[in-house]
Structure 1
Amino acid sequence: MTAEVLNRRSVRGVTALRGGRRWRPTPYQVFGLAFWLLMTLAFWRVPPCCDAGQHAAAVERLRAGLPDAGFSSPYVLAQGALARLTGLSGWAVLRVCGPLNLLVLLSGVGRFVRALTPRAWAPVLALVFLTVLWGTERAWGAGYLALMPMTGVLGYPSACALGLTFWAWALTAARARDTRPVRFVGPSGLRGFTGYAALGVLYGAVALLDPVTGVGAAAGAVACVAGWQRGRCAAVAGRWALTGVVAVLVAAWRPYSAGDFAQGLPGGLLGCCWLALLGLPALWLRARRSSWRDPLVLLTVLECLAVAYGRLGALLGLALAGPQLALAVELAAARPWPVWRRALGWSAAGGACLGLLTVQAGAVVPRSLDPVGFAQPPRWPSYDWAAGYLRPGEVVLADGSHALRTLPGYGVTAADARAYLSPAATRAQRTAILRRGRVRWLLLTRGRRMPADAVVVAWSRRTGEVLARVGTGPNATARPTAATTR
């Protein structure tokens, strides 16, 4: 053998001996990462809203070793364990869990869209439409689960449950289509029972985190199986029955009450979802092509039935996800486009531009920039200005709904101040209320007259709320600043 053969260099571009092509990120991985970074920064900047104070209070009680019956779910128990191990406060734990929930949600959406179509840009368009084609600023709230850039509630269990729902639908689609390679199969040529049981555990976990989202996840599972499963033999039915039984057994670990499901329907239904209806033409096209057996069509129908029958407003976002996903899949098709698809694309682009704008206090501001702080300040106030004066376990009387729902997150007990502030209440009755409830603080909204025996210690420049010391106790050394609210 000659020296030239021994010293021959490998030719560039040959991949047969190097393991194939180099990895390149998909469009959704690039845009999804940018979206995750933007919303994480917004989440850390915007004060938590809605029921975030109650969630933070539940974590605080678990960190202190106290039982919590209001939010007894595995998610909150895990947050309490994290708080005890790290020493983080309830608010800090919510700040940590928000980006994690968003990561689960974005990855779940991408995985489910890839189960619908192999088109690379379909997940990107789905993220855009799910973000900007859903109406009001309350869409990210606990009542309406939808992909809106309202970052205040990303730390909620419902956000994690929504992400796991998309993951469960994607895995259900893979099982129903049976497209993944199988190394070992049973005598009937089907997959084993272990994967179906694991899928049932996932659906049960969604119900444990949020029972209403669990109902929507079950409806989506039925839609995926009915739309994609081709084999109708008893062995196939038994495997999916096993998934349902395991899901019910896992979900039964958490005791449910009527309050867990009594969400109600949102007011102004057309006003908060009319932009999402732009995807109905694409959904109708999918229905015609598949003889109404398309999973997105069945998903929309079943979710709408659940919303109407159970008056579960939280499922409205899942019901409207079907048309938006259908629109994303349709517009991700390769060019050239026919006339009807170009018209659909222009209408979707116009709706997306309109969805980026919202009317707040008479001024049109970019909704996408509003959570980051470039527009008006967030509507839900922060009470960090008062938290420095409050100690864990103290009782605060408040007359504002925001304060009553947020202050418990700082480890204090918030109670309604109506009885104390009643014009008919005498001085003796007010003193009795303070002693009976061991009240040390009073937090009143702007314009409310402060009692004569209250000593103002702080006030908010943004909301005009006033924190005052009442009664006697260890806080008696606080320096008074005013006698009435501003």
Structure 2
Amino acid sequence: MSRTQSPQGAARAGRALPQAAAALVVVLLLLVIVRLPWAGDLGMHAATVQRLSHNLFHPGNPLVDADTPSPYYSPWMLVLGLVAKVTGLSVFVVLRLAALVGLSLLVTGVWRYVRTLSAHRAAPALALLSLLFLWGPLLFNWSGFLGLNSLALTVSYPSVFALGLTFHFWAWVTRATREEAAWGRWLWLGVLWALVLLCHQFTGVVASLGALAMVIAARPARPVLLRLAGALALGMLLLWLWPYYDFFSLFSAGADLEAIHKPLYEDLPARFGLVLLGVAALVLRWRRDRWDPLVLFFLLGVLVFAAGGLSGHYSWGRALPAALIPAQLAAALEVVSAGRRAVRAGWACVLGAALVVGAWTQVGTLGYVTGRAALPSVVAAKYRTPWVGYHWITPWVKYGDVVMARTTPARQIPAYGAYTVAPGYPDVFLKDSARREDAVARYFAAGTSAADRAGILRQYDVKWVVGPRSLAGPGLRKVTVGPASQVLYRVQP
């Protein structure tokens, strides 16, 4: 009896271990949401919710006092702005709610899509762990990329919401092509495709490449292709009708985004080296099935990413998840789908070792829950301190006030309702962005006269200045001092 139970017990343990590990990671992310560490674009998204909560139909530019559209005014942010307006909750509470929704969509979406690829009970948990940890020995954070540390910092972003929808979208597309679904389901898929593109354009590209791979792999009949064309037409119509910004004008805005995306092409082996295990798994899948959807997905992602690097269109590097995701999923699925038990066991050991390496790279994520002081020194060395924020100016700076500040403060101050003179991020719809940036640079330059500084403040109706102590002079009254010896000055009339 024991001989027959032992393999069964080992199988149960093999399923339970990844499921328990995945559950612990989800709990960690839920605790991170409570703290909501601030870095990167959180201020932009908080500012977007601020503007929509004050004016749902005509919010204006989210960062500067200008009447321009913005690609950040997506359907999802419109919902969040409405929640803030109706409930009166602060934008940071609303962003925590957004994080809960985004994380829930992501976890359930991965589960549903992986179920279309494997019926093994451990497959979804292994897939989630691979998506989070199968990266490289060098920490990498960027919105739209699913490393654990990156996800912890971006969990409230629209990119996570869009990624969650994307996995559900792929699951529906896969089933629709297999079952030759009716017109109604395909039209719904067209709506969902447009929603992903509007909520996060770069994730929308990844979603489109994945769906294309799944359709090619299914080699659908002519009636399915007709329904697919109808879904695409409906999606394009919705993109064209969206009133908050011109979606199609973004195709001509790439030149403004290339410089900030060039780092995506740097340190590739260190950042993504562990994904080579997934590439090996894709080769095995291709040998078993020349039309494997993950293989096709990977090839499309590599093609777009490589084209961006070769042509200098570095913003195309945001399509890299279209290569990473199928490779990471393939590595996980090989553990449960390889031929003999010994081969599967070998894959499990190799993948487990790779996941441990990836988890150690990102172990500093624990600090977003515990704080640095509670971490062992070896872990604390991997912890990256989040931004402090500018809540300390809110007793004086009111909604709609204009603040003169350099780039880093300008990425955070609008989260509290104020505007800055120049946006902290590239803005493709703000025509005078370069002039505003030049005004800020001149204002803080050491050789600028008091008269020139006063002229700049008048030009942009500036009421407050955030800067160093050395800035004190005529026309400014010191109000308070914040972290890193930053000073809030009131502009004297």
Bin the TM-score by the shorter chain.
0.7 to 0.9
2:200 to 191, 210, 220: 210
Kept in 1: contact 2:400–2:417 (CA 8 A): yes
How far apart are the structure 2 equivalents of 1:166 and 1:322?
12
What secondary structure does 1:458 align onto?
A: strand
Q: Report the CA distance between 1:126 and its aligned residue.
A: 0.9
Pairing 1:388–2:400 present:
no
Partner of 1:431: 454
Q: TM-score, normalised by structure 2?
A: 0.78
- The aligned runs of 1:288-303 (5 Å cut-off) are 288-290=287-289, 292-303=290-301
How far apart are the structure 1 equivalents of 2:366 and 2:175?
37
How far apart are the structure 2 equivalents of 1:204 and 1:343?
42
Q: Report the CA distance between 1:213 and its aligned residue.
A: 1.8
Partner of 2:280: 281
Partner of 1:315: 319
- The aligned runs of 1:412-431 (5 Å cut-off) are 412-415=418-421, 417-431=440-454
How far apart are the structure 2 equivalents of 1:335 and 1:237?
34
1:458 to 461, 480, 493: 480
Structure 1: state its 5+ residue gaps.
Answer: 1-24, 179-189, 359-364, 474-486
| Residues 93 and 46 (structure 1), Cα distance of their counterparts in 2 relative to 1, 3 Å cut | closer
Q: Report the CA distance between 1:128 and its aligned residue.
A: 0.9
> More helix per residue: 1 or 2?
2
Structure 2: state its 5+ residue gaps.
Answer: 1-14, 61-68, 309-313, 423-439
| Residues 123 and 353 (structure 1), Cα distance of their counterparts in 2 relative to 1, 3 Å cut | same
Kept in 1: contact 2:38–2:386 (CA 8 A): no
What secondary structure does 1:449 align onto?
A: helix
Q: Deviations over 1:112-155 (max 9, x none)?
A: 1111000111111111111112245443x33x432433322222
Identity of aligned residues (%): 31
Kept in 1: contact 2:472–2:478 (CA 8 A): no
How far apart are the structure 2 equivalents of 1:241 and 1:272?
38
Report runs of 4+ in structure 1 exceeding 6 Å deviation.
25-30
Pairing 1:467–2:465 present:
no
Q: Report the CA distance between 1:299 and its aligned residue.
A: 0.7
Partner of 1:67: 59
1:249 to 230, 237, 256: 237
Partner of 2:363: 366
How far apart are the structure 2 equivalents of 1:319 and 1:387?
43
| Residues 367 and 342 (structure 1), Cα distance of their counterparts in 2 relative to 1, 3 Å cut | farther
How far apart are the structure 1 equivalents of 2:147 and 2:113?
14
Q: Report the CA distance between 1:252 and its aligned residue.
A: 2.5
Pairing 1:236–2:236 present:
no
Pairing 1:223–2:213 present:
yes
Higher mean alpha-carbon deviation, 154-163 vs 129-138, is at: 129-138
Q: Report the CA distance between 1:393 and its aligned residue.
A: 1.7
How far apart are the structure 2 equivalents of 1:137 and 1:101?
23
Q: How many residues align?
A: 421
Partner of 2:132: 131
1:449 to 470, 473, 485: 470
| Residues 366 and 235 (structure 1), Cα distance of their counterparts in 2 relative to 1, 3 Å cut | closer
Pairing 1:258–2:251 present:
yes
Q: CA RMSD in A?
A: 2.7
Pairing 1:402–2:408 present:
yes
| Residues 465 and 51 (structure 1), Cα distance of their counterparts in 2 relative to 1, 3 Å cut | farther
How far apart are the structure 2 equivalents of 1:38 and 1:120?
22
| Residues 308 and 336 (structure 1), Cα distance of their counterparts in 2 relative to 1, 3 Å cut | closer
Q: Report the CA distance between 1:82 and its aligned residue.
A: 1.2
Higher mean alpha-carbon deviation, 295-304 vs 417-426, is at: 417-426
How far apart are the structure 1 equivalents of 2:134 and 2:478?
46
How far apart are the structure 2 equivalents of 1:281 and 1:75?
37
What secondary structure does 2:464 align onto?
A: strand
Higher mean alpha-carbon deviation, 238-247 vs 114-123, is at: 238-247
How far apart are the structure 1 equivalents of 2:186 and 2:467?
55
How far apart are the structure 1 equivalents of 2:168 and 2:451?
59
- The aligned runs of 1:90-109 (5 Å cut-off) are 90-109=91-110
- The code of the aligned residue for 1:321 comes to I
Partner of 1:355: 358
What secondary structure does 1:452 align onto?
A: coil
Q: Report the CA distance between 1:162 and its aligned residue.
A: 0.9
- The code of the aligned residue for 1:205 comes to L
What secondary structure does 1:371 align onto?
A: helix
Kept in 1: contact 2:197–2:205 (CA 8 A): yes
Bigger radius of gyration among the two: 1
How far apart are the structure 1 equivalents of 2:279 and 2:19?
27
- The code of the aligned residue for 1:420 comes to Y
Q: Report the CA distance between 1:387 and its aligned residue.
A: 2.9
Kept in 1: contact 2:148–2:365 (CA 8 A): no
Partner of 1:145: 145
